[in-house]
Amino acid sequence: MPRHRIGAILLLAVVAVILCLRTPEWPTVLNKPGREILNSTLGFQHIFAINLPSRTDRRDALVLAAALSGLDITWANGVPGEDVHDRVLPGDPSISRELSSGKRGSWRAHMNVLQRVVDENITSALILEDDADWDVRLKSQMQVFAQAARAFTQPSWNGRSVAEQLRDPPGQELPLNQLPQRTRRPRLTPYGDDWDVLWLGHCGTGFPEPTRGAPTSSFRVTIRNDDTVPPPQHLRPHPFALQDALSETYPPHTRVVHAASRTVCTQAYAVSQQGARKLLWQFGLQTLTTGWDLMLRDWCDGLYDSSDTDADADAGPEVSDDDRPRAPLCVTAQPPLFSHHYGRGAASDITAPGGGFVNKKKEMTPYVRRSVRLNMERLVNGQEAVEQWKIEGESSSA
Ligand SMILES: *[C@@H]1O[C@H](CO)[C@@H](O)[C@H](O)[C@H]1NC(C)=O
Ligand SMILES: *[C@@H]1O[C@H](CO)[C@@H](O)[C@H](O)[C@H]1NC(C)=O
């Protein structure tokens, strides 16, 4: 080949590389969340914990659990229901004024945190209730979760998330290691840029319905052989509950990440700035009908979606597809990464947990194998955390 040809080809190649680097989609990055998730706020800007100052017992325990896990907690004072006046309640007064004092206080405490997130322009915040518990391996679990969550929250090179691309036909899933290797670089949070809620601690969730045209994608990411996932017989929200469907659908030690659907209990959830704004608008200003976690459930399920009107209705102005608000994007995991710690006889100030479980002698935390709370005495004494369940046929140090 003549020299000048080779020169021309080289020049073209250089120009192509420069063009690629200048396009806004580039550079894409390996879909491997980095070390920022291992920091003391788990890669969020803040971790808030809601606690009534009078419950010093709970604050002591959570301070210690956080310290033992290298977490930095920002306290948000809980609100006694009596301090929430009728005139501040949004929505239909005949409903909101009938709510129990516990539900009013809980609503206001969560609204106060959302208000702070918006007021201080916080990019992302994890919100914990003061009885939350987690595995001593939380930070590495969160790294894996973030990688799976990005399939929902982070656009790939063509501008759409993996979950969007694979929403039809409904019901598709991919194991974590088969997700596309590259995504656009997340700019806002290591969990991806486009999400409202990451529902990390709950006491039950469904898989989204695999129906065409559902507001959220029914796509799932599976994490196999995750040995922080309890064996199937312990996949239940409290000791007397039925086993979760997860335990029959997947091989043991599988965690599944998917859009939240019928999710309940708010032991732990993260909000992005955009999520906090939407939630504060909806529940600070518009609606108060029931307990906070049930309202969040309905919100994530798209029940407050104002675009969800009859498409063929002839009344009202035409709304173009671009102008419709997108359904909320809430991502969750089964089993959850945070769970409710059942201490000795300590009933919640809001509502007692179900299953007749209060006042039982035995402490436990559903779904969490090496619980920080159950290992507190060992951990303060410099010992290794142990398994909560003795499991036949499996080594407990798995
Ligand atoms: C942890 O990482 C996140 C994301 O990079 C950051 O916003 C946050 O400030 C970090 N936390 C601390 C305590 O440095
Ligand atoms: C809020 O933060 C975002 C980025 O996280 C930034 O782009 C925006 O300008 C900030 N808004 C204000 C009012 O500071």
pLDDT above 80 for 275:
yes
**pLDDT value at 312 more than 50:** no
- The CA–CA distances, whole Å, from 239 to 83, 243, 244, 265, 396 equal 35, 9, 12, 16, 20
Number of domains into which the chain is organized: 1
Mean pLDDT of 97-111: 97
Residue with tokens 């194998």: 369
Residue 12 lies in a domain: no
Closest CA to 163 of 329, 37, 326, 335: 329
The per-residue pLDDT for 59 is 97
In this predicted structure, what is the pLDDT of residue 354?
46
Give CA separation, 189 vs 37, 185, 202, 383, in Å.
9, 10, 22, 34
Where does the pLDDT of residue 345 fall: very low under 50, low under 70, confident under 90, or very high at 90 and above?
low
Q: At what angle do helices 292-300 and 101-119 cross, to 10 degrees?
A: 60
Q: What is the pLDDT of residue 240?
A: 85
Question: Is the pLDDT at 398 greater than 50, yes or no?
Answer: no
Question: CB–CB of 150/31 below 8 Å?
Answer: yes
User: Could you give the CA distance from residue 136 to residue 386 in angstroms, rounded to a whole number?
Assistant: 10
pLDDT of 2 strictly over 90 = no
pLDDT reported for residue 50: 98
In this structure, are residues 105 and 81 in contact, taking their beta carbons and an 8 Å threshold?
Answer: yes
| 46 in Cβ contact with 74 (< 8 Å) | yes
Find the mean pLDDT for residues 2-26.
Answer: 70
Rounded to the nearest whole angstrom, what is the distance from the C-alpha of residue 88 to the centroid of ligand 1? 34
Pocket residue to mutate for ligand 1, from 35, 45, 122, most atoms within 8 A of Cβ? 45
pLDDT confidence band for 19 (50 / 70 / 90):
low
Q: In this structure, is residue 15 part of a structural domain?
A: no
Residue bearing the CA closest to ligand 1, atom 9: 45
| Cβ–ligand 1 contact at 161 (below 6 Å) | no
Kindly state if the Cβ of 394 falls inside 6 Å of ligand 1.
no
- The whole-chain average pLDDT of the chain stands at 88
* Ligand approaching nearest to the C-alpha of 44: 1
- What percentage of the chain carries pLDDT values higher than 70? 85
CA atoms within 13 A on the CB side of 307: 14
The radius of gyration of the chain from alpha carbons, rounded to an integer in Å, stands at 23
Confidence of residue 31 (pLDDT cuts 50, 70, 90): confident
Main-chain phi, psi angles of 165, to 5 degrees = -65, -30
Residues near 247 by beta carbon (within 8 Å), at least 6 away in sequence: 232, 233, 235
Tell me which residue range forms the domain holding 31: 25-303+327-391
Helices (H), 206-251: 246-249
Q: Which of 45, 121, 188, 189 to mutate to test the pocket of ligand 2 (most atoms within 8 A of CB)?
A: 121
In a domain, 317, yes or no: no
Q: Residue 273 is encoded by which pair of tokens? A: 């700035």
User: 67-106 as b/e, with b when 16 or more CB fall inside 10 Å?
Assistant: ebbebebeebebbbbeebeeeebbeeeeebeebeeebbbb
pLDDT tens-digit map of 220-249: 999 999 999 999 999 999 888 999 999 999
Is the preceding peptide bond at 27 cis, omega within 30 degrees of 0? yes
Q: What is the pLDDT of residue 26?
A: 54
For ligand 1, atom 4, name the residue with the nearest CA: 43
pLDDT at 14: 78
Q: Indicate if ligand 1 lies below 6 Å from the C-beta of 74.
A: no
Q: What is the mean pLDDT of residues 314-329?
A: 64
Place of tokens 């004072």: 77
Closest residue to atom 5 of ligand 2, CA basis? 123
Q: Is the pLDDT of residue 252 over 60?
A: yes
At CA 221, angle to CA 397 and CA 129, rounded to 5? Answer: 65
Q: Where is pLDDT greater, at 10 or 63?
A: 63
CA distance linking residue 45 with residue 47, whole number of Å = 7
What is the structure's pLDDT at 21?
A: 57
Of 21-35, 180-194, 358-372, least confident by mean pLDDT is 21-35
Instruction: Report whether residue 121 contacts ligand 2, using a CB cutoff of 6 Å.
Output: yes
Q: Establish if 316 belongs to a structural domain.
A: no
Is the predicted pLDDT of residue 258 greater than 70, yes or no?
yes
Give a yes or no: residue 209 inside a domain. yes
Residue 7: predicted pLDDT = 81
Give the DSSP letter of residue 158: T
pLDDT over 60 (residue 349): no
The pLDDT tens digits of the residues spanning 278-303 come to: 999 999 999 999 999 999 999 999 99
Average pLDDT score over residue span 135-147:
97
* Domain-located, residue 312: no
Q: Is 41 in the pocket of ligand 1 (CB under 6 A)?
A: yes
Which ranges of 246-353 would DSSP assign to H, the alpha helix?
A: 246-249, 273-279, 292-300
pLDDT 10s digits, 37-66: 999 999 999 999 999 999 999 999 999 999
Ligand nearest to the CA of 72: 1
- Name the residue with higher pLDDT: 165 or 354: 165
- Mean pLDDT over 153-158 rounds to 86
Kindly report, residue by residue over 192-218, the tens digit of the pLDDT.
Answer: 999 999 999 999 999 998 888 788 899
The answer to the question of residue 130 being in a domain is yes
Specify if 1 maps to a domain.
Answer: no
Residue 189's pLDDT band (cuts 50, 70, 90): very high
Does residue 133 contact residue 365 with C-beta atoms inside 8 Å?
Answer: yes
Answer with the residue of higher pLDDT: 358 or 334: 334
Ligand 2: atom nearest CA of 123 is: 5
How buried is residue 382: exposed, middle or buried, by Cβ count under 10 Å (0-12/13-18/19+)? exposed
**pLDDT attached to residue 22:** 55
Confidence (pLDDT) at 323: 66
* Nearest-5° Cα angle at 93, 90 to 96: 70
CA of 186 to the centre of ligand 1 (A): 14
Rounded to a whole number of angstroms, the distance between the first and last alpha carbons of the chain is 61
| Whether residue 260 has pLDDT greater than 80 | yes
